[in-house]
């Protein structure tokens, strides 16, 4: 009799607490099944109460202990030492912009170092620098996932084989979010077990339907919570590195230069730019030479046609002048004969 009385009172309390954690997501959909399940629990409590009220005080103490045990499950379990970095859930994202004079070698080196650390390349885009004019440079954008414990070693290795232009790192602490989600998942699991117990005892068809409907909602929320936890685990376990690689003819200085070094570097750079400009002009001229020849031929043809028209027009004007002169001479002869 004691056992039935305690069970009948603990079950509705567990269901009520479970509903507080899970019912706020979609109240319109889950209110009816949850209410039906709660009514079933209260009916069991009434049936147990009718059977007898032996050892009321002991039964109340047992209920209080049972309630305390259930409430304890739902309290957030925070790490023992929140200040300890090892107990925290940290998501690290790093963006690197590097340059190199040997693009292909650096790309192979990055790939091999990624594999050595146990990571993988999640996304990549590579431009091979193809161009008719020959002045385009190779480049690549890589999204790399590296185990969090080996991220610093990987970044140091990349810095050794390339010239780092810029670096940006972002760290997100998701410890509290992760702990809260785990607590909610445990509360859902506890409610799931209690619903299964009620389902085993239910005899009414309407009660069975209500319990199974609530079970479906709880299972869906549990799967959603597990999916979110797996996503956080992946982001915490594997840091993300967004790496941009540029090929250059000369590496950008990474240390401060004195005036003399700046003047020398600028002068040599200007000479290099002039030589490069002349080279690009020659290459461009040779590449576009067919267009130049074609344009020259068109211009010459137009000029020839225009010259022919002008010459014909001049000849016509000369003939007209000769004809007028002959007419004038004929008139003069006639007048002189008269």
Q: According to the model, what pLDDT value does residue 338 have? A: 62
Rounded distance between C-alpha atoms, residue 293 and residue 300, angstroms: 10
Q: What is the CATH number for 101?
A: 3.30.70.260
User: Does residue 242 share a domain with residue 158?
Assistant: yes
Q: Is the pLDDT of residue 130 over 50?
A: yes
**Domain endpoint, select from 191, 225, 247:** 247
**What is the pTM (predicted TM-score) of this model?**
0.55
Total domains present in the chain: 2
For 139-155, what is the mean pLDDT? Answer: 95
Q: Is the pLDDT of residue 151 over 70?
A: yes
User: Does residue 127 share a domain with residue 43?
Assistant: no
Band (pLDDT 50/70/90 cuts) for residue 314 is confident
Q: Is the pLDDT of residue 261 over 70?
A: no
Q: Is the pLDDT of residue 13 over 70?
A: no
> Is 329 domain-assigned?
no
User: Does residue 181 share a domain with residue 74?
Assistant: yes
Q: Which one, of 278, 302, 298, 301, lies nearest residue 290 by Cα? A: 298
SS3 for 128? coil
Residue range of the domain that includes 104: 88-175+238-247
> Is 307 domain-assigned?
no
User: Does residue 197 share a domain with residue 120?
Assistant: no
> Is 31 domain-assigned?
yes
Q: According to the model, what pLDDT value does residue 181 have? A: 94
pLDDT tens digits, 200-250: 998 899 989 999 999 999 999 999 999 999 999 999 999 999 999 999 888
Q: According to the model, what pLDDT value does residue 168 have? A: 95
Band (pLDDT 50/70/90 cuts) for residue 255 is low
> Is 211 domain-assigned?
yes
For 158-170, what is the mean pLDDT? Answer: 93
- Whether 185 contacts 229, CB under 8 Å: yes
> Is 58 domain-assigned?
yes
User: Does residue 183 share a domain with residue 158?
Assistant: no
- Kindly state the helix (H) or strand (E) to which residue 170 belongs, with its residue range: strand 163-173
Residue 210 tokens read as: 């209500």
Handedness of CA 12, 13, 15, 16 (dihedral sign): positive
User: Does residue 242 share a domain with residue 132?
Assistant: yes
Band (pLDDT 50/70/90 cuts) for residue 258 is low
Q: Is the pLDDT of residue 320 over 80?
A: no
pLDDT tens digits, 46-103: 544 444 443 443 344 333 333 433 333 344 444 444 445 557 899 999 999 999 999 9
Q: According to the model, what pLDDT value does residue 139 have? A: 92
16 vs 309, higher pLDDT = 309
Residue 127 tokens read as: 């431009």
User: Does residue 118 share a domain with residue 24?
Assistant: no
User: Does residue 63 share a domain with residue 155?
Assistant: no
- Whether 155 contacts 168, CB under 8 Å: no
Rounded distance between C-alpha atoms, residue 278 and residue 285, angstroms: 10
For 245-262, what is the mean pLDDT? Answer: 75
> Is 335 domain-assigned?
no
Band (pLDDT 50/70/90 cuts) for residue 145 is very high
**Domain endpoint, select from 247, 268, 302:** 247
Q: Which one, of 13, 172, 193, lies nearest residue 88 by Cα? A: 172
Q: According to the model, what pLDDT value does residue 141 have? A: 96
Rounded distance between C-alpha atoms, residue 133 and residue 119, angstroms: 38
Lowest mean pLDDT among 41-55, 157-171, 232-246, 289-303: 41-55
User: Does residue 181 share a domain with residue 51?
Assistant: yes
179 burial level (CB within 10 Å; 0-12, 13-18, 19+): middle
User: Does residue 92 share a domain with residue 171?
Assistant: yes
Q: Give the chain's mean pLDDT.
A: 76
- Whether 22 contacts 198, CB under 8 Å: no
Q: Is the pLDDT of residue 16 over 70?
A: no
Residue 124 tokens read as: 């990549």
User: Does residue 98 share a domain with residue 19?
Assistant: no
User: Does residue 181 share a domain with residue 131?
Assistant: no
């Amino acid at each position: 009799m004691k056992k039935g009385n305690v069970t009948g009172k603990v079950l509705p309390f567990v269901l009520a607490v479970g509903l507080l954690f899970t019912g706020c997501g979609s109240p319109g959909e889950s209110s009816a099944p949850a209410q039906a399940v709660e009514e079933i629990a209260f009916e069991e409590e009434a049936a147990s109460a009718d059977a007898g009220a032996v050892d009321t005080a002991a039964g109340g103490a047992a209920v209080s202990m049972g309630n305390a045990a259930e409430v304890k499950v739902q309290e957030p379990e925070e790490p023992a030492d929140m200040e300890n970095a090892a107990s925290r859930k940290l998501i690290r994202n790093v963006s690197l912009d590097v340059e190199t004079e040997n693009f292909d070698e650096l790309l192979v080196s990055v790939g091999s170092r990624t594999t050595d650390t146990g990571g993988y390349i999640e996304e990549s885009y590579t431009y091979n620098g193809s161009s008719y004019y020959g002045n385009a440079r190779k480049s690549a954008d890589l999204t790399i996932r590296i185990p969090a414990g080996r991220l610093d070693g990987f970044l140091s290795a990349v810095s050794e084989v390339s010239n780092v232009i810029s670096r940006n790192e972002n760290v997100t602490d998701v410890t509290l979010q992760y702990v809260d989600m785990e607590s909610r998942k445990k509360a859902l699991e506890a409610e799931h077990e209690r619903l299964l117990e009620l389902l085993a005892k239910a005899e009414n068809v309407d009660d069975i339907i209500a319990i199974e409907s609530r079970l479906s909602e709880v299972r869906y929320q549990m799967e959603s919570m597990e999916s979110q936890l797996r996503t956080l685990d992946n982001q915490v376990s594997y840091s993300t590195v967004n790496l941009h690689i540029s090929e250059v003819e000369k590496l950008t200085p990474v240390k401060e230069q004195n005036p003399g070094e700046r003047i020398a570097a600028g002068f040599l750079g200007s000479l290099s730019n002039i030589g490069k400009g002349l080279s690009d002009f020659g290459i461009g001229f040779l590449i576009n030479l067919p267009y130049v020849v074609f344009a020259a031929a068109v211009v010459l043809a137009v000029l020839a046609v225009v010259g022919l028209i002008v010459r014909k027009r001049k000849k016509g004007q000369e003939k007209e002048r000769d004809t007028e002169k002959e007419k004038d001479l004929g008139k003069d002869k006639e007048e002189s004969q008269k």
